[in-house]
Amino acid sequence: MPALAVRELRKSYGDFEAVRGLSLEVEPGEIFGLIGPNGAGKTTTIKTIIGLLKPDSGEIELLGRKMPNKGVLAKVGYMPQELALYRNLTVEENLWFYSRLYGLSREEFEKRKESILRFVGLEKFRNRLVGKLSGGMQRRASLACALIHDPEFLILDEPTVGVDPQLRASFWSYFRELTKEGASILITTHYMDEAVNCDRVAIMMNGKVLITAPPEQIIEETGSATLEEAVLKLTGVVG
């Protein structure tokens, strides 16, 4: 059974159809990349999956439960494109708040927060207000908040925007580590050099999936040198 199954999803805003009959499946323990040009419908898809938007039609099954289902969200971590942190709270207070939303007890939180802070390298900044952190540190804090409850399924919308290459690399090795522990990840990104790290990617265009396959296979089948070239060929968007 897939960790996430989306079938024939449709969502429009007024006259504009943002998602037109999208289907995809994310296998347990997989890093699944959703890539495509701006306006392809990636964020709408993600927001619909997590229940922030109501689909017009289609089915979503997350961790074996039909969505919308508030209960299953306790096992899901979500990192939106925006910062999604309280700027007037410290890093630790932000972590505490989100841990409470996911029902962690004080003890569980105290235990969990140390390893998370260490991973994102914010141990020394735990008492600093988020608004006073650099952009990169804010992204790290945001990721930490999505991970605080040790989710089984992780939804990351452009998690590496504004993050330097070193940290990006460590983000990806951590994602890989998480999947080894059994978590599944759905990620959107603009950086093709990091999208190749996904187990499979779905290339989106105008609200539809053009192709779903491992990145190497897409590169090979399109006769391209890089994933970037392959995506350009497939979407017809030549930059």
Which contacts (CB < 8 Å, 24+ apart) does range 125-132 have?
125/91, 126/90, 126/91, 126/92, 127/90, 127/91, 127/92, 128/90, 128/91, 129/87, 129/88, 129/89, 129/90, 130/83, 130/85, 130/86, 130/87, 130/88, 130/89, 130/90, 130/91, 130/94, 131/87, 131/88
DSSP H helix total and E strand total for the chain: 8, 10
Q: Which is nearer to other proteins, 53 or 232 (CB)?
A: 53
Give dist(CA 103, CA 43) in Å, integer. 26
* Span from 67-75, 181-189, 217-225, 228-236 in contact with other proteins (CB under 8 A): 67-75
Q: Which is nearer to other proteins, 57 or 88 (CB)?
A: 88
Q: Which of 82, 124, 166, 239 binds other proteins (CB under 8 A)?
A: 82
User: What is the rounded end-to-end Cα distance, in angstroms, of the chain?
Assistant: 39
Residues 22-51, interacting with other proteins (CB under 8 A): 47, 50-51
Q: Which is nearer to other proteins, 32 or 98 (CB)?
A: 98
Residue 81 interacts with other proteins (CB under 8 A): yes or no: yes
Minimum CB–partner distance for residue 232 and other proteins (Å): 30
Tell me how many residues contact other proteins (CB under 8 A): 33
Residue 98 interacts with other proteins (CB under 8 A): yes or no: yes
Q: Which is nearer to other proteins, 83 or 210 (CB)?
A: 83
Q: What angle do CA 17, 159, 219 make, to 5 degrees?
A: 75
Query: Is residue 209 within 8 Å of residue 218, measured between CB atoms?
Result: no
Nearest CA-CA partner of 191 in 133, 231, 221, 238: 231
Q: Which is nearer to other proteins, 50 or 227 (CB)?
A: 50
Q: Which of 19, 62, 76, 231 binds other proteins (CB under 8 A)?
A: 76
* Span from 100-108, 109-117, 184-192, 216-224 in contact with other proteins (CB under 8 A): 100-108
| Binding pattern for the stretch 142-161 against other proteins, x by CB under 8 A and - elsewhere | ---x----------------
Minimum CB–partner distance for residue 27 and other proteins (Å): 22
Strand (E) or helix (H) holding 79: strand 76-79
Q: Which residues are near other proteins by CB under 8 A? A: 47, 50-54, 70-71, 73-74, 76, 78-90, 93, 97-98, 100-103, 129, 145
